[in-house]
A and B are shown apart, each in its own frame.
Chain A
Amino acid sequence: MQEILEVIFNINTFSAAIRISVPLVFAAIGGVFSERAGIINLGLEGMLLTGAFAGVLGSYLTGNPYIGILFAIMGGALIGFIFALFTIKFEANHVVAGVGLNILMLGITTWLMQILWDSRGTSVNVTGLSEITIPILSSIPILGKLFGSHNILAYLMFIVVIFSWIILFKTPFGLRLRVVGEYQKAADTLGIKIRKIQYTSLIFSGVLCGLGGAYLSLGHLNWFSMNMSAGRGYMALAANIFGGWNPLGAFGASYLFAYTDALQMRMQALNLNVPNEIIQMIPYILTILVLAGAMIRSRPPAGLGKHYKTNR
């Protein structure tokens, strides 16, 4: 028992959770922007995968992981734009388009891997992102352990959380975006450029997922592997819902999911006489419980998933 408690409250668990949470947080905030603009985004999964692949590709081609990040951003933006085309211009059902995108990207990335590296399982090793240690912060006892040493994307994540919140709730763009997600026709009658806002937010959503994906491939490991996102996009969508379609909430929810994941990994190492499979289930069970609770009270944007047709 004592052992378990030690793991639960161990600073290393909290610190590991930050690392695990980074891709989730990026994707969850991507989900916030997309859904606040009225578009259900199951495509987060495919966008993460794209980011992970593009990141490795960039680093592979140039040897520079920061160029990899740039590739991931561009790849994410492109996929965000394509998703926008389907859901907005061609008025596809959002859920179908999202799932379709995920299957498509899984296929494309696997295929490209085969062509480039002659393997369907994993890519070659590339140069990954190195950790940056912040001088004074890293020497403070607890804070140093938590925040003192991360790669650039983890630091960027904290900035993104705060800026996203400001954009969404304090700027004219954010206010208009929320109006679009609630009631497109009302936004139209106010002279708001609905399409521009929706495209922008979906592309932004793609960029964020690109960054999250790059963290998966260039931050955690130094290679890309087939289906590397492994359901994190869906989890991020859940975190967005649990977090009340709010960047801060999405961060909190993602961190909670990441924490249980970290806990699960550490508990497996304890030899508890419980099958590992049961322990591995913990984060998923928690996700289900938390979501079931959250869904009852949650209030999605009123226009989520709806198409608006003008008569012009």
Chain B
Amino acid sequence: MNIIEFKGITKKFGDFIANDKIDLTIKKGEIHCLLGENGAGKTTLMNNLFGLYNPEEGEIFLREKPCKIDNPHKAIELGLGMIHQHFMLIDRLTTTENIIVGEEPLKNGLVDMKKAREQVKQISDNYHLAVKTNEKIENISVGEQQRVEILKVLYRKAEILIFDEPTAVLTPQEVNNLFTTLRELKAGGKTIIFITHKLEETMNISDRVTVLRKGKVIGTVNTCDTSPKELARMMVGREVLLNVNKEKSDVGDNVLEVKDISLTGKHKNLLLKNINISIRKGEIVGIAGVSGNGQLELEECIAGLRKVTSGKIILDSEDITHAPTGIRRKRGLSHIPSDRLKRGLVPSYSLAKNIILGNQDSFTKNGFLLQNDINKYCKEVLEKFDVRCQSMNDTANNLSGGNQQKLVIGRELSTDPKFILAAQPTRGVDVGAIEFIHNNILEMRKQNKAILLISAELEELLSLADRILVIYEGEIVSKKNNYTKEELGLLMAGKKVPEEEKKELENRIQND
């Protein structure tokens, strides 16, 4: 049975068409992947289904009956449940309160918390979704928060579950657990729509895949009849190299040395603990870790946005521990910040202004900006880094996420730096752009730059980095040249790789 059918759904934001006459059928009991680059319109389509948006055109059929779903309340009543990309949780309320709100069990007109906790416990046992029923959201891990989101949906007796990029925030182990849950849900007769832009996951979990590109459906295929290569081509619209080719490079002298830095937070808690990193010319050092384990603090300390409590940072044999950001940049530091909208660019500025940001002194004469020089330079950067835009007078917030990121990267790599601090350079960026960014980073390596790559993407680290350090709760817990994905996953979750397993792994590596 076709449990959901989209017929000609169109959703516009102003003149921009986010969903363009979408036709899509979901069968009862399947796991259906919606695959597409960032900005392809996946979330928008599902928001239409969930009643958060009302489409301009088209019809949605639910269980073969036409349905007008104009608010989430109605969607919930119809058995739909959505686990949003950004969690819809209230930090200061407990897990149980978050789950039951809107459909509270009552006793004498008051909320019956005891019964609520029992009900939550029961569902959580049924589906092996362990949560502490009386803990505040702000005190639990991201993985557990996601389980709360799933429980919220199951508590409302959803038959159709929509997961919007659920794996973005999880460690590999947590992803495995999530997939187990998904299979269990499917076995229990639920229908699952799974949104992602990751090919591997799609191949792993889905029964069928629908690829979206630029708001249009490109096609629907059975997972068993397709390959990652084909899916990538459908997504991007051209051939994509899924594996980067890394050539050997000659490593030279130390460029950046982080010596024993520590950082204490507001409440005297240690955010970074005795971190030592040294990076040589032509070398990419990766920092792996689940986000929130000190990566941001490390990034800020090296970039000069935050004062270290103790320790030293040396760039090109000069002590920059106390140098302000401007001086660091002059000494040859480039910074691709993890939060591009907050720190990478000024959304309301034109592309040209964004490109000279931080480097504006080179385009100044007698205190005035040299508009011609700027335009020429910007044109070069935009072309070289393939930033797709209407004109360089566009403001940065008109670009899609991937193009914004390419803009930031273009600016940072065009100043001939000695050292590049690349924090989450491909976060929220689609495969096409990822490939491009990776190639640019490798190009920098070839040009003998020293690169620190902070990333939550294991694939990225494994394919780009020459050495990897694992950070956990502000501490480097492991460093090595060769890791397997499983090993990294365990280390990132704060688990030690047991000695025997380690040996076994080493054997396997030698045998490979």
A182–B94 CA distance with the chains assembled, in angstroms: 13
- Residues of A within 8 Å of B54, CB to CB, are 311-312
- Chain A: minimal CB distance from B357 (Å): 29
A189–B43 CA distance with the chains assembled, in angstroms: 14
Closest to B152 in A: A190
- Residues of A within 8 Å of B97, CB to CB, are 175
**Does A311 lie within 8 Å of B88, measured CB to CB?**
no
* Sample (22) of A-B pairs whose CB atoms are under 8 Å apart: A166-B110, A171-B109, A171-B110, A172-B101, A172-B111, A175-B101, A175-B104, A183-B88, A183-B89, A183-B90, A188-B72, A190-B72, A190-B76, A190-B88, A190-B102, A190-B152, A191-B76, A191-B102, A192-B73, A193-B73, A311-B53, A312-B51
- Given contacts A166-B110, A189-B52, A191-B76, A176 and B92 within 8 Å (CB-CB): no
Q: Which label, helix, strand, loop or mixed, suits the secondary structure of the A interface?
A: helix
**Does B106 lie within 8 Å of A172, measured CB to CB?**
yes
- Chain A: minimal CB distance from B165 (Å): 16
- The verdict on A179 contacting chain B, using a C-beta distance below 8 Å, is yes
**CB-defined interface of A182-214 with B at 8 Å, one 1/0 digit per residue?**
110111111111000000000000000000000
- Residues of B within 8 Å of A7, CB to CB, are none
Select the residue from B13, B50, B53, B101 with max chain A CB neighbours within 10 A: B101
**Does A172 lie within 8 Å of B104, measured CB to CB?**
yes
Interface size range of chain B in the complex: 20 to 34
- The verdict on A178 contacting chain B, using a C-beta distance below 8 Å, is yes
**CB-defined interface of A247-281 with B at 8 Å, one 1/0 digit per residue?**
00000000000000000000000000000000000
From residue 86 to 106 of chain B, which have CB atoms closer than 8 A to chain A?
88-93, 97, 101-102, 104, 106
**Does A188 lie within 8 Å of B52, measured CB to CB?**
yes
A182–B70 CA distance with the chains assembled, in angstroms: 24
A190–B110 CA distance with the chains assembled, in angstroms: 19
**Does A191 lie within 8 Å of B71, measured CB to CB?**
yes
A166–B13 CA distance with the chains assembled, in angstroms: 43
A191–B101 CA distance with the chains assembled, in angstroms: 10
- The verdict on A302 contacting chain B, using a C-beta distance below 8 Å, is yes
Select the residue from B77, B82, B111 with max chain A CB neighbours within 10 A: B111
**Does A176 lie within 8 Å of B102, measured CB to CB?**
yes
**Does A299 lie within 8 Å of B52, measured CB to CB?**
no
- Given contacts A175-B111, A312-B70, A299 and B92 within 8 Å (CB-CB): yes
- Residues of B within 8 Å of A176, CB to CB, are 101-102
A166–B50 CA distance with the chains assembled, in angstroms: 33
Select the residue from A186, A187, A190 with max chain B CB neighbours within 10 A: A190
- Residues of B within 8 Å of A188, CB to CB, are 52, 72
- The verdict on A89 contacting chain B, using a C-beta distance below 8 Å, is no
- Given contacts A170-B110, A171-B111, A311-B52, A189 and B88 within 8 Å (CB-CB): yes
- Residues of B within 8 Å of A166, CB to CB, are 110
- The verdict on B446 contacting chain A, using a C-beta distance below 8 Å, is no
- Residues of B within 8 Å of A299, CB to CB, are 92
A190–B87 CA distance with the chains assembled, in angstroms: 12
- Kindly list the 10 A-B residue pairs having the minimum CB-CB distance in the complex, ordered from nearest: A191-B73, A186-B88, A190-B102, A172-B104, A182-B90, A311-B53, A170-B110, A191-B76, A312-B54, A191-B72
- Chain A: minimal CB distance from B367 (Å): 37
- The verdict on B84 contacting chain A, using a C-beta distance below 8 Å, is yes
**CB-defined interface of B57-79 with A at 8 Å, one 1/0 digit per residue?**
00000000000001111111100
**Does A186 lie within 8 Å of B89, measured CB to CB?**
yes
**CB-defined interface of A158-175 with B at 8 Å, one 1/0 digit per residue?**
000000001000111001
**Does B91 lie within 8 Å of A182, measured CB to CB?**
yes
**Does B73 lie within 8 Å of A179, measured CB to CB?**
no
Closest to A312 in B: B54
- The verdict on A2 contacting chain B, using a C-beta distance below 8 Å, is no
A180–B90 CA distance with the chains assembled, in angstroms: 10
- Residues of A within 8 Å of B50, CB to CB, are 189
From residue 271 to 312 of chain A, which have CB atoms closer than 8 A to chain B?
299, 302, 310-312
**Does B52 lie within 8 Å of A192, measured CB to CB?**
no
- Residues of B within 8 Å of A182, CB to CB, are 90-93
**Does B53 lie within 8 Å of A312, measured CB to CB?**
yes
- The verdict on B119 contacting chain A, using a C-beta distance below 8 Å, is no
- Residues of B within 8 Å of A186, CB to CB, are 88-90
A311–B106 CA distance with the chains assembled, in angstroms: 33
- The verdict on B177 contacting chain A, using a C-beta distance below 8 Å, is no
- Residues of A within 8 Å of B152, CB to CB, are 190
Select the residue from B52, B70, B97 with max chain A CB neighbours within 10 A: B52
A193–B51 CA distance with the chains assembled, in angstroms: 13
- Chain B: minimal CB distance from A246 (Å): 13
A166–B77 CA distance with the chains assembled, in angstroms: 29
- Chain B: minimal CB distance from A227 (Å): 38
A236–B302 CA distance with the chains assembled, in angstroms: 46
A192–B74 CA distance with the chains assembled, in angstroms: 11
- Residues of A within 8 Å of B92, CB to CB, are 182, 299, 302
